A and B are shown apart, each in its own frame.
Chain A
């Protein structure tokens, strides 16, 4: 069971002359939940996009399921078994919820299994069932985030990548969505790579975590280790500790830029 599903070795990605990530190495074991934490601009999204092939790296390797996939076309990488839920609720706005989900199942030939997965999606996200025929662009922010996760699920990925799923959601909805991510991991064995600003929620879920700062890994450890770490407490969990996290995060975000 505990092989390595995803590994990056010394990844370096540039935007023109700007180095966004500089030599990131991490590994994600099959069946685990791994979180990547970091402030705004630390390079989290860039790391995920490099893994998925949406941006090319200059150096390093991405090894997924035993195969080097760096700098391949993103649709090819996804077809190997990565379901990427991008930052910021990226749905197909002019298409219905059902159509969005059917695109998520693009390329799958196992019709019966697709039908079963669709049922399961609506079991996870009952809100979406009620809106099946509605245009995705008219859904609320939280529903769009659910749809983006559900769409990735419909591809039956081995690895689900989530880029700040809690962005802009209420603490309650964040809890709900993290709960579903946990179920997808536990019940279906989908490996999870989760990028978050909400370190508190992410560390509760994660077996292992990495902390990025200006494009480098500055800390690494198990979920428990990171939760206990003084630096994490200071920078990400806040001295005041849990509870009313929503507003607190906002105030902190400004100083991080």
Chain B
């Protein structure tokens, strides 16, 4: 392998990892606020990609309008999902919540297949083609995923640390009872967290579409994102980002080194990390209170 190939694979890996990271952000946000692991998050991502496709191409509204409406739709869906379903599960056992989100994922995937079909569809994006940087030919869409992830992460960071609403969301995630007693409308904020997580996932599905295309099968990204979050130490946001990038970069190299195992490397890495460092790369320092 030449160094240009290695660099090429690294960039491809970073782009894939960024996509996983965006989905993983949602996993971690929701988990921190509610202790629910939303196993349907990959499905929300897929749904987002399909909604963008529907608005942009099936309804002919064009990419930008389609992107805005598609992402917004997922925001509404995320909010409604929490307000109508998840909120009622407060106090239920972990296992019934687990089963609920898994069942929800299966349902959404089947529904998408019924509506849009099972074959991959192409989403035309304005960032197609390639750019050449110092002899490297890189697909523009890869760069857009990486840049988009950086912008979204920075935006979320500023929102959570600098705005009153963001700080209150952190409070609601760290100690729900104390947040309630401080007059923070915890229920509504948790629904907003679901909305944001779903919108970020939808963005991920849309940004990755040039590579993955749009089909019910792209929900597999959700499982890899989950693996990345576990590698990073579930519940830690920097950990999840790091874990996803690690998995994203490792995948193409390992696929290149030994193709027969293509697709299972993400899980192999997760198992390895769990055996060596059960708390993940960046474990939580304090025990979270309800």
Contact = CB atoms under 8 A, between A and B. Distances in A.
B258 interface: no
A79 B177 CA distance: 14
A107 B186 CA distance: 13
A106 B174 contact: no
B170 A92 contact: yes
Find the residue from B171, B180, B182, B289 having the highest chain A CB count within 10 A. Answer: B182
Given A86-B177, A86-B178, A90-B289, A95 B183 contact: no
A92 B181 contact: no
Contacts of B186: 75
B184 A75 contact: yes
Interface in B135-176: 164, 167-168, 170-171, 174-175
A91 B164 CA distance: 17
B187 interface: yes
Interface residues of A, number: 30
A148 B171 CA distance: 13
Nearest to A82: B181
Interface in A99-119: 99-100, 102-104, 106-107
Contact of B181 (A107, A137, A152): A152
Interface in A145-173: 148, 151-152, 155
B178 A148 contact: yes
B182 A104 contact: yes
B100 interface: no
A74 interface: yes
A216 interface: no
Main secondary structure of the interface of B (DSSP, over half): helix
A212 B167 CA distance: 38
Contacts of A90: 175, 177-178, 289
B183 A155 contact: yes
A97 to B, nearest CB: 13
Interface in B179-201: 179-187
B180 A54 contact: yes
Interface residues of B, number: 22
B174 A92 contact: yes
A75 B180 contact: yes
A93 B164 contact: no
Contact of B182 (A54, A94, A106, A137): A106
A103 B181 contact: no
Contacts of A54: 177, 180-181
B285 interface: yes
B59 interface: no
A232 interface: no
B185 A99 contact: no
A20 to B, nearest CB: 16
Contacts of B178: 86, 90-92, 148, 151
Contacts of B171: 92, 95, 99-100, 103
B183 A106 contact: yes
Interface string A30-52: 00000000000000000000001
A208 interface: no
A78 B286 contact: no
A118 to B, nearest CB: 15
Contacts of B164: 102, 106
Contacts of A73: 180, 185, 187
A104 B175 CA distance: 13
Contacts of A104: 182
B84 to A, nearest CB: 17
A100 B174 CA distance: 11
Nearest to B181: A84
A107 B285 CA distance: 30
B285 to A, nearest CB: 7
B168 A106 contact: yes
A91 B182 contact: no
A103 B180 contact: no
B181 A52 contact: yes
B62 to A, nearest CB: 41
A107 B177 contact: no
A83 B178 CA distance: 10
21 contacts: A52-B181, A53-B180, A54-B180, A54-B181, A73-B180, A74-B180, A74-B181, A75-B180, A75-B183, A75-B184, A84-B181, A90-B177, A92-B170, A93-B286, A94-B170, A95-B171, A102-B167, A103-B171, A104-B182, A137-B286, A155-B183
Given A106-B182, A106-B183, 16 more contacts: A53-B180, A54-B180, A73-B185, A75-B180, A79-B183, A85-B181, A92-B175, A92-B178, A93-B174, A93-B286, A99-B167, A104-B182, A137-B285, A137-B286, A155-B182, A155-B183
